[in-house]
A and B are shown apart, each in its own frame.
Chain A
Amino acid sequence: SAVISQKPSRDICQRGTSLTIQCQVDSQVTMMFWYRQQPGQSLTLIATANQGSEATYESGFVIDKFPISRPNLTFSTLTVSNMSPEDSSIYLCSVEGTGRGGYTFGSGTRLTVV
């Protein structure tokens, strides 16, 4: 299965600033997924990123707040913009493994906004 390198692993940021999270995959993948895990909560899909097209956002998430880039088939970034304490979460990227299912996740970025 694919191996994902995600960075930074954690960060503490001031409110009003932005943070860009990077995910690098060791193989080419069509779709990459970005999730948010709020403290003590489950994972919620933010958006799906396809190479060569705009990301598709889930209900409750907008491009202005979470812009995503997907410049090639092995890399994607998620930016958390104009941060507030409510954005404190773990952010994870994911790709589908070989065959049907078995999605692989990055190790996550633990973001704290103060």
Chain B
Amino acid sequence: GNSVTQMEGPVTLSEEAFLTINCTYTATGYPSLFWYVQYPGEGLQLLLKATKADDKGSNKGFEATYRKETTSFHLEKGSVQVSDSAVYFCALGNAGGTSYGKLTFGQGTILTVHP
């Protein structure tokens, strides 16, 4: 079945540091890939997505590239801010079949950014 493996946290960085959160997946077909963010006390928000190989999703300075050859979708940001402190989830959307629409989530990575 589908699975998502995320870099274990927590990750603690200083403001303006470079961020990478690794995400690899196992899936059949050509799934869509997502990064979701959960700020403290809030619900889940879509951060970015990519729907096919070599697509790059980007939003709010975050980027992730769909790498089919390495089955990866690593999240990066060149300069993090304190306001980026949150839990980040990598997720995979089924490509089709009866489970179309179902998301499989990674375990989440807690990011804390200090001033």
Contact across chains for A107 and B42 when beta carbons are under 8 A apart: yes
Contact A96 B49, CB 8 Å, known A42-B106, A43-B44, A108-B43: no
Interface size class of B (residues with CB under 8 A): 20 to 34
Contact across chains for B46 and A104 when beta carbons are under 8 A apart: yes
State how many residues of chain A have any CB contact under 8 Å with chain B. 23
B94 CB to closest chain A CB (Å) equals 10
Interfacial residues of chain B within 32-56, with CB under 8 A of chain A in the complex: 32, 34, 36, 42-46, 49, 51
CB 8 Å contact bits of B85-115 with A (1 = contact, 0 = none):
0000100010000110111111110000000
| Residue A60 at the chain B interface, CB threshold 8 Å | no
Contact across chains for A108 and B44 when beta carbons are under 8 A apart: yes
- Which has the most chain A C-beta neighbours within 10 Å: B46, B98, B106? B46
Main secondary structure on B side of the interface with A? strand
CB neighbours (8 Å) of A103 from chain B are 34, 46, 93, 101, 103
Chain B residues proximal to chain A, CB less than 8 Å: 32, 34, 36, 42-46, 49, 51, 89, 93, 98-99, 101-108
List 6 tightest A-B contacts by C-beta distance, closest first.
A107-B43, A101-B32, A105-B44, A42-B105, A43-B105, A42-B107
Name 27 interchain pairs, CB-CB below 8 A, sorted by A: A33-B101, A33-B102, A41-B107, A41-B108, A42-B105, A42-B107, A43-B44, A43-B89, A45-B103, A48-B101, A48-B102, A92-B43, A94-B103, A96-B101, A97-B46, A100-B32, A100-B51, A101-B32, A101-B34, A101-B93, A102-B46, A103-B34, A103-B93, A104-B46, A105-B36, A105-B44, A107-B43
